[in-house]
Structures are given as C-alpha cells and as structure tokens.
Amino acid sequence: MATQKYQGSCHCGKVKIEAELDLQAGAGKCNCSICAKTRAWSMMIKPSAFRLIAGKDALSDYQFGSNSMHHYFCKHCGVRPYGNGNLEMLGGEFYTVNVACLDGVNPTALADMPVRYSDGMNNNWQASPAETRHL
C-alpha cells in the first residue's frame, strides 16, 4: 500500500486532522507512562505530511518530563488525535497521529498494520518490552 491522505478527528469532532500515511509501514505502541495509560497507537510522520484542519481552539496541551513532546487533547471530549515534538535522535521535528482517531478506515486495514513496540518505561526505545499484550 502506498501513502494516502487520511482524515481523522477527536470523539466529539471539534478537532479534525489530515495526514499522509502508509498504513502498511506500521504504527507504534509503547509502555512509557503516558502511552500505557492512554493505550496510544500512533504513527510518526514529518510535519509536511500533517495538517490540523479544525479545532485549534479546542485543544489543550500536556507536557511532562523533558517537555520535548506536546500531547494535544480535545478539551471537550478528552481524546488525543495527535501530538508533536522535536527530538534530534528522531530526525528533528515530527508529528504523531493516533491511528485509532482515523475516520473511515476499514477495520481490516487497521488489524493488518504491523505494530512496533518500544520499551519507553526503561528508556530503551529501540527495544520491545518483555510484555506487550496489555498495550
């Protein structure tokens, strides 16, 4: 499958995004403190592949730790459709798109996506944690 333009939104629809994604490239799940609690399932993309269509005023921003990542969520429904950050070890500026917030994607296409796991709990981001079933 090639890169396609996808639309996404928060639960209440106030925040709308557009992203160019290749679902077959896979998405990530992590066991760090925020990803594990929110069951984040995300794809990392370059800024040129992301667009906030609506809802900038509906967003709140949560940061913690090194403050290198913006975890945006809708202040009305609480859903996190995307985030962004800037880390040299990841190639500079990036966006993360919550795959679960994509609208109209065939469930089989989501189920068939490869998933990469990261051991963020132990700051061993390139390795998979020993247990992933709960993620």
95-114 per-position pLDDT tens digit: 999 999 999 999 999 999 99
So what CATH class is 4-120? mainly beta
d(CA 127, CA 116): 9
Q: Which residues contact 94 (CB under 8 A, 6 or more apart)?
A: 44, 45, 46, 47, 84, 85, 86, 87
The one-letter code for the residue type at 104 is: G
d(CA 105, CA 72): 22
pTM, entire model: 0.90
Q: Output the CA–CA distances (angstroms, integers) from residue 36 to 19, 69, 70, 90, 135, in the order listed.
A: 24, 16, 16, 20, 6
pLDDT one-digit tens code per residue, 111-126: 999 999 999 999 888 8
Sign of the alpha-carbon dihedral angle for 76, 79, 81, 86: positive
Residue recorded with tokens 């996190």: 80
Domain boundaries, the chain: 4-120
Where does the pLDDT of residue 1 fall: very low under 50, low under 70, confident under 90, or very high at 90 and above?
low
